[in-house]
């Protein structure tokens, strides 16, 4: 019986060893030096930016960032109230969304590090929904907007001071790539 188990284990090990990935014999050549200039690099206008050369494609993330003053609004401590500065940012976002009716967005709610995980997840949800509700009040179809709360899990600024905390209390409108 023991020999049978040893034989089975050896067979399994040999089968798995045969599946090991072998490194390629030759690596592909590096990209041509002019690729970045032709809009093929990772910089502005490169892959994932939504751009063609230096211009952003309408409805892309790059177009959104170029057209609105900010993709985020900030909140006071323990608050999810939209102030006048936030309204101006969200009005510009609503106008862009009206020009691009096929684009769906996700609104992320974030908090600073203070408070429990559960409290911050709930507050982040209220912040994301406050931004969503404001955009909906400006004519954006609520079905085009998803909300998610990250609470304190994805800080924008690391640090335990008021400046860092203020940057982390936010709602971010994300246009997919």
The confidence score (pLDDT) of residue 75 equals 98
Tens digits of residue pLDDT in 94-103: 999 999 999 9
What are the backbone angles phi and psi of residue 52, rounded to the nearest 5°? -120, 110
The confidence score (pLDDT) of residue 5 equals 62
Asked, for residue 157, whether it belongs to a domain, the answer is yes
Burial of 111 (0-12, 13-18, 19+ CB in 10 A): buried
**Cα 158 to Cα 149: distance, rounded to the nearest angstrom:** 18
Asked, for residue 111, whether it belongs to a domain, the answer is yes
Q: Which domain holds residue 93?
A: 57-177
Asked, for residue 116, whether it belongs to a domain, the answer is yes
Tens digits of residue pLDDT in 111-134: 999 999 999 999 999 999 999 999
Tens digits of residue pLDDT in 140-172: 999 999 999 999 999 999 999 999 999 999 999
Asked, for residue 11, whether it belongs to a domain, the answer is no
Asked, for residue 75, whether it belongs to a domain, the answer is yes
Count of domains forming the chain: 1
Asked, for residue 26, whether it belongs to a domain, the answer is no
Work out whether the CA dihedral 121, 126, 127, 131 comes out positive or negative.
Answer: positive
pLDDT tier, 42 (very low <50, low <70, confident <90, very high otherwise): very low
- In this structure, what token pair is assigned to residue 125? 């949800």
Asked, for residue 48, whether it belongs to a domain, the answer is no
Radius of gyration of the chain (CA): 24
pLDDT above 70 (res 30): no
Say what the pTM is: 0.70
Asked, for residue 5, whether it belongs to a domain, the answer is no
The confidence score (pLDDT) of residue 177 equals 84
Work out whether the CA dihedral 59, 60, 61, 62 comes out positive or negative.
Answer: negative
CATH of the domain at 137: 3.30.1330.60
């Amino acid at each position: 019986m023991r020999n049978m188990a040893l034989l089975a284990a050896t067979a399994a090990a040999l089968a798995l060893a045969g599946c090991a990935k072998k490194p390629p014999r030759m690596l592909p050549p590096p990209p041509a030096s002019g690729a970045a200039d032709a809009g093929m690099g990772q910089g502005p206008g490169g892959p994932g930016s939504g751009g063609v050369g230096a211009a952003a494609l309408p409805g892309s993330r790059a177009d959104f960032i170029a057209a609105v003053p900010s993709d985020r609004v900030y909140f006071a401590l323990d608050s999810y109230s939209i102030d006048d500065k936030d309204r101006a940012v969200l009005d510009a976002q609503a106008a862009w969304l009206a020009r691009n009716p096929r684009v769906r967005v996700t609104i992320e709610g974030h908090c600073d590090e203070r408070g429990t995980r559960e409290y911050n997840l709930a507050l982040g949800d209220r912040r994301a929904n406050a931004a969503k509700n404001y955009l909906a009040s400006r004519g954006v179809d609520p079905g085009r907007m998803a909300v998610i709360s990250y609470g304190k899990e994805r800080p924008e600024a690391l640090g335990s001071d008021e400046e860092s905390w203020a940057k982390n209390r936010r709602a971010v409108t994300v246009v997919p790539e």
